[in-house]
Amino acid sequence: MQLNYFPIQIDFEKYQVFTEPYVDDRLIQLRKLHNVTHSFFRNGDAIYISNKDGDENQIIGTITERRTYEDKEITASLIKHLFFRTFRDRFPHYTPVDFYPFRFFSGQTKDDIIYDALPLNLQNRIAYKKLIEVQLRLTNIDNKLQFGFFITIRRNWIFNKNCAELNEEGYNIIGVEVLHSEPFEGLNNILAPNEEFIGVIQNKVGNIAQVQTNEGIKKFDLNELFIRKTKFNIGNYLAFATSQQKSDEILNIIENKRSEIYNAKKVYSEISNIAKYLFSENGQPVLFQNKDGFCFSVDSKLKSVSNTMELKIPTFIFDYAGTKTQNSNPDQGLINYGPYDSINFDIKTPNIICICNRINRGYFAGFLSSLKDGIPNSKYFQKGLLKKYDLQDIVFDIKEIQTNNVEEYLQIISSYDENKPHLAIIEIPRSFRKYEDKLNPYYRIKAKLLSLEIPVQFITSEIIKQYNEFILNSVALQIYAKLGGTPWVLPTQRSVDREIIIGIGHSWIRSNFYKGAENNRVVGITTFLSSDGQYLLSDKVKDASFENYFEELLKSLQNSIKRLSFEQGWAEGDTIRLIFHIFKPIKNTEFDVVCQLIKEFPEYKIRFAFVTIAKIHPFLIFDINQVGIKKYGSNQLKGEYIPNRASNIFLDNETCLVQMFGASELKTAKHGMSSPILIRIRTPQGKYDNGNIKDFLFYDLNYITQQIFSFTYLSWRSFLAGEQPATMLYSDLISSLLNKMRNIEGWDADKLNYGLKRKKWFL
């Protein structure tokens, strides 16, 4: 395997650099006087000076000594500045978009995939181009501490016609979303102007636009405004400048070429070529150096890596004794043994209210029949929901609506006079997706049912007419989980420690995406799973300002730990290991929360780890020996150069990359490059002092990585392994749904803290 990582060669353990004591005005003054030749940056109480092109005899500051890896932040800043200035010297015709991460657009016409489709007057004014990004990291791969650059590629719109030009052309700019472009002082033609999404143009007088912003109506010169670079906005302009047909043709080019431009083999080749362009010249490494002796070179070939550990597919268990197991396929285990909790599952004859449109009654009844009793001669759903999940009977009570008006759905639910159903199955048209959240019948119906503590399974009208065994199989799995069942569990490692895995999800609440939007409120969710993957409970953190979020989280954790300690019979002196899967590290606040939690429960020995699981990062893994897999029923290859699922590499003692979707897991070639997930054990940052917190931290990266990998087989939305572990998936699903339903009239999320607390209503 190979990593999109290019190691930096530094041949010294320490170096000399000029510094001055930090003073605000002095840093500004130095940059004004010497910015053309020198770089200046602050670290702590000192200003650091890197002389790239200045007179060697002109001394600024006092020389000091620093160590390459012990003073890693200073070294990293020197590398970034030296790389930036060397790039500008070697490639003066490029204007970088950002200093860090360092980004620049390809200058080659072939990298603009819509160039040939555009009229001559729009070529190079509008483009969909390759954007190259270079990020610096300090790694410890194979126990070798080393800096290196990671190179990634994506595609972005370029639209360099300002609103003054558009206005002159006759394009209607009223109601258009706009960016405000402002050059960085002293950096014209060195760094692209800063662009911020400020709002929508409400009116214009001459060359002045009145823009609705989060600070009210503000005035801007049309020359400083550009339309926001979205597919919708650019498509609208293209329709005006050419025709609707031409606009659609250009946008379709991008969609049709998606599998080509994001093909892993192609991405690998492009990254390799970019690295040679950046890090070598005439076959020799480029020497990045300043006048003070600090220098480095960069390898121009991707780094070869191998699996750090063997990740194993977990064994799936289907009985309390652990004797009924399946090694690789949980679906086959259900077919052979039934669900894990079959013996004491308390809803053996679920009563299900079913609502459909009267014109689809026949299709709907047929769908329910196949769901209950299965499809004869099918491979995966011959038994149906009834026998596969060891139920005694399923009672469907079908109610009809005349139209798809949401009030009809709600009327049936409100006037239902039978015994309270265990579940609802609701047929809805696909068109409901077009509604905004607040008015969407889907969320209004779901909110009503959940407020009555009734989980719901939605089925679209299109599916009930064209279902198959795979759809029915997934729906049945979700229904059993929503009823409160546990289809299967995982084996637990023998340990004297009690262990709880806690997923902390979130959803931001903000009015819009303009600059200055209020986005400091968050819906927080904690989900608790046992080490064998059993869903224990979830707890909602109230809508809170971000500053108060962790205070609410502490209350949630306190209440849940008390409940679990009672239910599981924790004894004084027990070691309790809490593994937190958290959405984002927030300085050191989360560590303060757990330190306080530890004080609240002195009777237990609490150990904990905060783990982030990220999909957005600059890391890619390639396997040039992977020739791809033919998609079933066609000759099209998918997954070329993509490593197998479970491929992994430790970047350091706290960070691991794991490839979750290999060639076999990709549905189509359109998915292109499949990125690994980034697992990182978080530790306190900076000069953090909270007693002997390090004594409470759990550091076993191997253990945590295997556990997260195992938990990706627990989604219960389908039988396929996922990218996220169940902890994060569940928390994110819950918080996302709560965020969408929070503005529904009559909705009260506190209802979820009772009858549905232990059911997977959110799947």
User: What are the pLDDT digits (tens) for 349-395?
Assistant: 999 999 999 999 999 999 999 999 999 988 889 999 999 999 999 99
* Burial status of residue 206 (CB atoms within 10 A of its CB: 0-12, 13-18, 19 or more): exposed
pLDDT band at 140 (very low <50, low <70, confident <90, very high): very high
Q: Look at residue 331 and tell me if it is in a domain.
A: no
The amino acid at residue 170 is G
Name the pLDDT band for 542 (thresholds 50, 70, 90): low
Whether residue 455 is predicted with pLDDT greater than 90 in this model: the reply is yes
Higher-pLDDT residue of 695, 209:
209
Least confident piece of the model among 311-325, 487-501, 538-552: 538-552
Tell me, yes or no, whether 191 and 233 share the same domain: yes
- The confidence band for 760, taking pLDDT boundaries of 50, 70 and 90, is confident
Residue 284 has pLDDT above 90, yes or no: yes
Residues 226 and 153 in one domain: yes
- Provide the pLDDT for residue 541: 54
The answer as to whether 322 is a domain residue is no
Closest alpha carbon to 490 in 730, 715, 757: 715
Contact between 403 and 412 (Cβ < 8 Å) = no
**What are the tens digits of pLDDT across the range 39-88?**
999 999 999 999 998 888 888 989 999 999 999 999 999 999 999 999 99
Of the pLDDT bands very low, low, confident and very high (cuts 50, 70, 90), residue 3 is: very high
Residues 641 and 740 in one domain: no
Task: Tokens for 604, please give them.
Answer: 């237990």
* 407: Cβ contacts below 8 Å, ≥ 6 apart: none
Taking a C-beta distance cutoff of 8 angstroms, is the pair 384, 469 a contact?
no
Of 482, 515, 548, the domain-final residue: 482
Looking at the structure, tell me whether residues 666 and 705 fall in a common domain. Answer: no
So what's the pLDDT on residue 732?
81
pLDDT at 101: 93
- How far apart are alpha carbons 132 and 94 in whole angstroms? 12
Give the β-pairing of 655-658 and 648-652: antiparallel
pLDDT at 740 over 90: no
pLDDT, tens digit (0-9, with 9 covering 90-100), for 592-631 = 888 888 888 889 888 888 899 988 899 999 999 998 887 7
Question: Of residues 325 and 439, which shows the higher confidence score?
Answer: 325
Q: Closest Cα to residue 667, out of 723, 623, 596, 751?
A: 723
Percent of the chain with pLDDT over 90: 55
d(CA 322, CA 468): 32
378 in Cβ contact with 387 (< 8 Å): no
Residue 245 lies in a domain: yes
403 C-beta neighbours (distance < 10 Å), count? 10
Listed residues 651, 675, 699: the one ending a domain: 675
**Domain boundary, last residue among 482, 512, 528:** 482
Mean local confidence (pLDDT), 432-440: 84
Strand, helix or coil for residue 16: strand
> Does position 510 have pLDDT exceeding 70, yes or no?
no
pLDDT at position 669 is 62
pLDDT, greater one: 531 or 227 = 227
pLDDT score for 59: 87
Torsion-angle region of 228 (φ positive above 0: left; ψ -120 to 50: alpha; else: beta): beta
CATH number at residue 435: 3.40.50.2300
**Based on the domain organization, do 530 and 404 belong to the same domain?**
no
DSSP structural state of residue 634? S
**In whole angstroms, what is the distance from residue 8 CA to residue 298 CA?**
4
Tell whether 463 and 505 lie within a shared domain. Answer: no
Shared domain for 626 and 604, answered yes or no, is no
Q: What is the pLDDT of residue 359?
A: 94
How many Cβ atoms sit within 10 Å of the Cβ of residue 246?
15
Is residue 493 scored above 70 in pLDDT? no
pLDDT attached to residue 539: 67
Q: Which of 165-174, 306-315, 754-763 has the weakest average pLDDT?
A: 754-763
Q: Supply the pLDDT for residue 150.
A: 97
DSSP per-residue letters across 522-580 = EEEEEEEEETT--EEEEEEEEEEEHHHHHHHHHHHHHHHHHHHHHHTT--TT-EEEEEE
Q: Residue 676 gets which letter from DSSP?
A: P
Residue-level pLDDT at 569: 85
**Given this model, what pLDDT does residue 96 score?**
92
Is the pLDDT assigned to residue 477 strictly greater than 70?
Answer: yes
The pLDDT assigned to 695 comes to 79
**Domain contains 600:** yes
Task: Tally the domains of the chain.
Answer: 4
Predicted confidence at residue 428, as pLDDT, reads: 92
| 244 belongs to a structural domain | yes
User: Is 326 a domain residue?
Assistant: no
**Is residue 145 situated within a structural domain?**
yes
Average pLDDT over all residues of the chain? 88
> Would residue 330 count as lying in a domain?
no
Give the residue, 190 or 621, on which the prediction is more confident: 621
Average pLDDT on 10-37 reads 91
Indicate whether 686 pLDDT > 90: no
Choose between 638 and 474: higher pLDDT.
474
Domain co-membership, 478 together with 510: no
Task: Based on the fold, state whether residues 290 and 168 are members of the same structural domain.
Answer: yes
For residues 590 and 647, membership in a common domain is answered with no
Are 429 and 455 within one domain? yes
Q: Are 247 and 232 in contact (CB under 8 A)?
A: no
pLDDT at 528 over 90: no
User: Which residue segment(s) compose the domain that 629 sits in?
Assistant: 620-675
Residue 702 CB partners (closer than 8 Å, separation 6+): 309
Q: Does pLDDT of 513 surpass 90?
A: no
pLDDT at 391: 95
**For residue 724, what pLDDT is reported?**
87
Residue-wise pLDDT for 645-685, tens only, equals: 999 999 999 999 999 998 887 776 666 678 899 999 988 77
Looking from the CA of 159 toward its CB, the CA atoms found within 13 Å total 23
Decide which of 453 and 288 is more confident: 288
pLDDT class of 399 with cuts at 50, 70, 90: very high
Mean pLDDT value across residues 330-337: 93
Same domain, 270 and 153: yes
Confidence of residue 435 (pLDDT cuts 50, 70, 90): confident
Query: Looking at residue 527, what is its pLDDT?
Result: 79
- How much of the chain, in percent, has pLDDT values that exceed 70? 92
